[in-house]
Amino acid sequence: MKVIVISGIGIVSALGNNVVENLHSLREKRSGIAPLHYLKTSHTEFPVGEVKMSNEEMISALKIPENAITTRTSLMGMLAAREALFHGKLAETTGKTIAFVSGNTVGGMDKSEQFYLDYLENDTKNAYISAHDCGACTEMIADYFGIFSTVDTISTACSSAANAILLGAELLKSGRADIVVAGGSECIAKFHLNGFNTLKILDNEPCRPFDAGRSGINLGEGSAYVVMETIDCANKRQVKPLCLLSGYANTCDAFHQTASSPNGEGAFLAMKKALEIAGLHPYDIDYINAHGTGTDNNDVSEGSAIMRLFGDKIPPVSSTKPFTGHTTSAAGSVEAVISILALQYNFIPVNLNFSEQMPELSFAPATNEKPSKPIRHILSNSFGFGGNETSLIFSII
């Protein structure tokens, strides 16, 4: 059986514009949630987790021509992927088949909103029409580097980036790629913000996952990618792996378009199958990075699934969305990188803003970053609309 390792990571989020900045914010318990700044909308009452860079600043940092057709989703993706490629030493690698798998849902919608009237009234911004769809953002990121033999886009709502990592593992195990760069990118757009507002699941205050008084999500944006390969490939390239991707699974309970099943059937099956693939038992998991959106539905559903699987021996559980906001399609890879950092530095990212335990659950989220024992295996959950549930397990080597 081929052993899959992570040999590079890159991230840009509300916590910082690289891995080190994100790590420091997590360790210092400093949230990136703040009032809206970059998105121009009348709904300024909602706090969000914006990346602290304008499009113009990202274009400059990436040395892209100012008149190039770009979107915020693709720009963030380029920054995160560039860091992952650097850490994974891909610039020094030749003769390998490298695939790129990226998840997003908003795509280039930020520009479509901005230029919609121009599309109707004149032809000055029509070049952005082709930048609207999800695949176009993936192609923009891939074209920036020009090293990928295969390019795939995953769009399964909030499990997109996690499913990109899952697909990456399958590409490696099947031999269709030697190395895979996988993850996701997502910007905040008006449609994005208004859509969640229509569902009445945005919180006007900093979000409180797994808290009895939770009121919804804080929307976020960001991007993260991991460099994946077999351990044999990493050894031949003389790259030191960061950790193993020891288990992964995707399920779909198809309970509702925008809600998870109350008993968390899909979440339970995803976690259970991921453990089976990893050859682990529930008691082997040392920390769960929960999907933990802060909505009434998710936290009951996910919490119920955790209780069902782990019984009375539930490991520390936390949601990192009070740090980053809910980065939706990028959440799976943003939280994968956070999980890998927790594994590397042996700490538990705390569940910010918690005050009162949910009566439906037998456990409270972790508020102490110091683990009671060394962290060896981390389970990271990403659950999407339509019941598309994905669990990843990262383990020390």
Residue of 134, 158, 187, 207 with catalytic role: 158
Coil, strand, or helix at residue 103? strand
Please give the C-alpha separations between residue 267 and each of 122, 149, 228, 332, in angstroms, as whole numbers: 48, 33, 25, 14
Q: What CA–CA distance (Å, rounded) separates 243 from 308?
A: 28
With beta carbons less than 8 A apart as the criterion, state whether 106 and 191 touch: yes
Question: Rounded to a whole number, what is the distance in angstroms from the first to the last CA of the chain?
Answer: 16
Q: Is 233 a catalytic residue?
A: no
User: Phi/psi zone of residue 154: left (φ > 0), alpha (ψ -120 to 50 degrees), beta?
Assistant: beta
Q: Which of 87, 132, 192, 326 is catalytic?
A: 326
Cα separations in angstroms, 30 against 210, 324, 331, 353: 19, 10, 18, 11
Encoded amino acid at 355, one letter? S
CA 321/CA 335 separation, integer angstroms: 9
CB within 8 Å of 116: residues ≥ 6 apart:
none
Contact 5, 243 (CB under 8 A): yes
Rounded CA gap, 207 and 215, in Å?
Answer: 7
The verdict on whether 291 is a catalytic residue reads yes
Q: Is 24 noted as a catalytic residue in this protein?
A: no
User: Catalytic residue among 87, 132, 291, 377, which?
Assistant: 291
What is the rounded distance in angstroms from the CA atom of residue 1 to the CA atom of residue 334? 28
CA 277 to chain centre: 21
8 Å CB contact between 149 and 100: no
- Helix ranges, 149-215 (H): 160-173, 190-198
Q: Which residues have C-beta within 8 Å of that of residue 334, sequence separation ≥ 6?
A: 11, 13, 161, 184, 222, 223, 224, 324, 327
Active-site residues, by number, are 158, 291, 326
